[in-house]
Amino acid sequence: MQYGVCTLSAIPMRKESDDTAEMVNQVVFGETFEILEHTKKWSFIKLAHDGYEGWIDSKQLLPISQKFYEQANSQVPFTSQELIEIISEEKTAEFYPIFLGSILPFYSNGTVQIQDKEYRFNGAVAQSQKSREELVEHAYQYMHTPYLWGGRTPFGIDCSGFTQMVYRLCGYSLPRDAYQQATEGDTLSFIEESEPGDLAFFDNEEGRITHVGIILNDNYILHASGKVRLDRLDQTGIFNRETGNHTHKLRVIKKII
């Protein structure tokens, strides 16, 4: 088995091995993965943190050893808490912008170690689990981020990428897609039982869960639809304050933390 890591800000993961194929996800700085299939141009990978699979450009990965892969994933990860910040390679002084929620392998006193490369990062980091109040604060950091199918950064994000990254920033791991996240935690019967930071899930006409958002106080919800936006939540679903219509049908509310 071969292994790799992302050392760029965010690289597209595609459904098929083609530059024009659908982007289903993004791999952000510091995330490691198994390489399940490898060609000259493309690599089919499986992310370590959530098991998500897809194709990435082979030029955009850095090979790592099995030992590094296993050691990196045996630790609770440090994450960048900065919306966007520079990380620089010590030997070459080359620098790279990285986004909120990026992984910082083997972080210690501003130093990040990736294989035989040492990086310097001077931004805010976190490792331990945070409170609901802090989770809500992090959710607001993505406010007005444009919706991007497969996106996971403050420059473009989808609904489940939004919830996954907000929870990561607070020390909690979620699966990638909304229907997968809906299998986590405890089910609540009523909105009134929810607390800020709980997740609300919504289904389509076929009954498949296709949307998720983060519940706030006073029946508000933050979710990615066109952009990360603030709307009202009731027993029917999401009520868009601008159009005056319900846009998503409520399926279930889950308490994750």
Catalytic residue, candidates 6, 49, 138, 211? 211
Amino acid in the structure at residue 143: M
Residue tagged active-site, from 6, 49, 159, 170: 159
Active site residue 38: no
49 included as an active-site residue: no
Amino acid at 123: G
Q: What is the DSSP string of 8-56?
A: SSEEEEESSSSTTSPEEEEEETT-EEEEEEE-SSEEEEEETTT--EEEE
Active-site residue, from 49, 138, 223, 248 = 223
User: Which residue type is seen at 9?
Assistant: S
Query: What's the gap between Cα 125 and its chain centre?
Result: 16
Identify whether 159 is a catalytic site residue.
Answer: yes
Q: How far is it, in rounded angstroms, from Cα 115 to Cα 72? A: 10
∠ CA 58-93-91, nearest 5°, is 85
Active site residues: 159, 211, 223
